[in-house]
Amino acid sequence: MSRTWSVDEHLADVLRSVRPLDPIELHLLDAQGCVLVEDVLVATPLPPFDNSSMDGYAVRVADVEKASEADPAVLEVVGDVAAGTGRMPKIGPGQAARVMTGAPLPPGAEAVVPVEWTDGGTGGGPADTMAAHSADPSGGTGEVRVHRPVTARQYVRDKGGDIRAGAVALEAGTVLGPAQIGLLAAVGCETVTVRPRPRVVVLSTGSELVRPGSPLGPGQIHDSNSYALTAAARAAGAIAYRVGAVADDAETLRTVIEDQLVRADAVVTSGGVSVGAYDVVKEALSDLDGTVLGGADLTEPEEPGESSDAPEHEKPAAPVRSVEFRRLAMQPGKPQGFGLVGPEGIPLFALPGNPVSSYVSFELFVRPALRALMGLAPVSRPTVRARLECEEPIGSPAGKRQFLRGRYEPPGEGERIGTVRPVGGAGSHLLGSLARADALIVVPERTTEVARGDELDVVPLDGAD
């Protein structure tokens, strides 16, 4: 390893190397969480026709102008208009039709009187409800007494009142959440063009690893990283494939990665990046004699305008380069590998094996890259300021940005900032405290000790929900 990289330099290098994935057309529900790449125009207005916002009676305004409970307007009921109907009675002077919420306003009608403002056709006092159609198959014909006047268009939802025909329903760049998917369905879209979720292959390395559910032999531990990182990739919006643990053998690891590249937009490994004799990821992915996995050439990328016969879409999205192993000025997460592998230059993150180190590294570098692949912004989680709550001062290594685990309490009424309390120590093997934390506490490089009352940056993390 040569120089030490800062957290910001490494992140910038990662982000420089990843390009958003090419757009694809997806069915609405498959596009949840994805970014639209083009404006969606509305072909038919929303609502598509004038319709009632209440169960009641479609009337002409003049007919009920003087209506009161003591002196009701008596109207002839000429039929029912149910939601979904195409056949509608015409409302003439002195006439009304029963109309249901969402049903079209019949021709001639100008407003809707809610059923509660009428006798419901019973000849008695104010009604709570309408007689069910099954109980009154005549279509509610007869008379209705209206107790209150209505103004023109009252309880009528205008055609195009939500979105006009030809208007933009959603702009390019919109992230599709439940409400946006609902809108697209309402305007009749079945599919949308979005940036897809990246497919992320997650594998861990280490001959000591056994899968959960298997008993531990001497010196063995359960593989937790591939589970945590797969879950983290899913939480970031990716489609994650957990390959599991690969033994400490460079050739096996290269073969496994090569096999996985066909279904990967990114690869995440954990372990084997330090300086030990069995640090197999380093061995497998560095010093590749000018080639990277998949056999692509590691020659310098072409300058724009230089000759290439390959059509644009067949060129690599970003210059292919080998996986480089670096030392970062951070704790945990000091040793990191990153590069582009395979003929298509797929980003590969070789994260350190300690469970907290791999998780924090994922948060700081992989999650932003996955968001960049999806076209999401901002790529990094927002930070908040918080006041430290702790009994004893906490030391922090000079020249390193430290990420302590903590529990964050947002500001209460009248408070400017919230508080954060460290959970567990700084050790990068402390999974128990990581699981109780909901935030990372950022101790800057120049700070060697923090104490109660200090104001620090805090990164709130995803909860368990």
Ligand X SMILES: Nc1nc2c(c(=O)[nH]1)N[C@H]1C(S)=C(S)[C@@H](COP(=O)(O)OP(=O)(O)OC[C@H]3O[C@@H](n4cnc5c(N)ncnc54)[C@H](O)[C@@H]3O)O[C@H]1N2
Q: Does 123 bind ligand X (CB under 6 A)?
A: no
Q: Which is nearer to ligand MOO, 57 or 359 (CB)?
A: 359
All residues at 6 or more sequence positions from 367 whose CB lies less than 8 Å from its CB, including other chains: 232, 236, 379, 380, 381
Q: Does 104 bind ligand X (CB under 6 A)?
A: no
Q: Which is nearer to ligand X, 97 or 201 (CB)?
A: 201
Least distance from ligand MOO to the Cβ atom of residue 361, Å: 7
Q: Does 357 bind ligand MOO (CB under 6 A)?
A: yes
Contact partner, 275, from ligand MOO, ligand X, none, Cβ < 5-8 Å per class: ligand X
Candidate ranges 43-51, 89-97, 114-122, 351-359; the one touching ligand X (CB under 6 A): 351-359
* DSSP-derived secondary structure letter, 260: H
**CA-based nearest residue to 328, from 2, 102, 54, 46:** 2
Q: Does 224 bind ligand X (CB under 6 A)?
A: yes
* Binding positions for ligand MOO, 421-440, rule CB under 6 A: 428
Tell me which H or E stretch contains 338.
Answer: strand 335-341
Q: Does 353 bind ligand MOO (CB under 6 A)?
A: no
Contact partner, 402, from ligand X, ligand MOO, none, Cβ < 5-8 Å per class: none
* DSSP-derived secondary structure letter, 146: E
Q: Does 336 bind ligand MOO (CB under 6 A)?
A: no
Q: Are strands 384-388 and 418-422 parallel, antiparallel or unpaired?
A: parallel
For residues 457 and 402, is the Cβ–Cβ distance under 8 A?
no
Among 152, 185, 221, 377, binds ligand X (CB under 6 A): 221
Query: How far is residue 162's CA from residue 159's CA, in Å, rounded to a whole number?
Result: 8
All residues at 6 or more sequence positions from 448 whose CB lies less than 8 Å from its CB, including other chains: 395, 396, 397, 398
Least distance from ligand X to the Cβ atom of residue 255, Å: 19
321-355 CB burial, b ≥16 within 10 A, e <16: bbbbbbebbbbbbbbbbbbbbbebbbbbbbbbbbb
**Helix, coil or strand: residue 361:** helix
Q: Which is nearer to ligand X, 350 or 372 (CB)?
A: 350
**Helix, coil or strand: residue 285:** helix
Candidate ranges 116-124, 150-158, 275-283, 409-417; the one touching ligand X (CB under 6 A): 275-283
Contact partner, 433, from ligand X, ligand MOO, none, Cβ < 5-8 Å per class: none
For residues 192 and 33, is the Cβ–Cβ distance under 8 A?
no
Q: What angle do CA 227, 356, 386 make, to 5 degrees?
A: 120
Contact partner, 276, from ligand MOO, ligand X, none, Cβ < 5-8 Å per class: ligand X
Query: How far is residue 254's CA from residue 259's CA, in Å, rounded to a whole number?
Result: 9
Q: Which is nearer to ligand MOO, 17 or 354 (CB)?
A: 354
Among 104, 140, 149, 352, binds ligand MOO (CB under 6 A): 352
Query: How far is residue 372's CA from residue 387's CA, in Å, rounded to a whole number?
Result: 31
What binding mask, one character per residue, do residues 175-204 give for ligand X by CB under 6 A, x or -? -----------------------------x
Least distance from ligand X to the Cβ atom of residue 227, Å: 8
Q: Which is nearer to ligand MOO, 332 or 337 (CB)?
A: 332
For residues 297 and 226, is the Cβ–Cβ distance under 8 A?
no
Among 270, 331, 396, 433, binds ligand MOO (CB under 6 A): 331
Q: Does 402 bind ligand MOO (CB under 6 A)?
A: no
Q: Does 286 bind ligand X (CB under 6 A)?
A: no
Candidate ranges 166-174, 306-314, 328-336, 414-422; the one touching ligand X (CB under 6 A): 328-336
Q: Which two tokens stand for residue 371?
A: 């968001």
Q: Does 274 bind ligand X (CB under 6 A)?
A: yes
Query: How far is residue 240's CA from residue 3's CA, in Å, rounded to a whole number?
Result: 33
Q: Which is nearer to ligand MOO, 260 or 331 (CB)?
A: 331
Binding site for ligand X (CB under 6 A): 204, 206, 208-209, 221, 223-226, 270-276, 279, 332, 334-335, 352-355, 357, 428
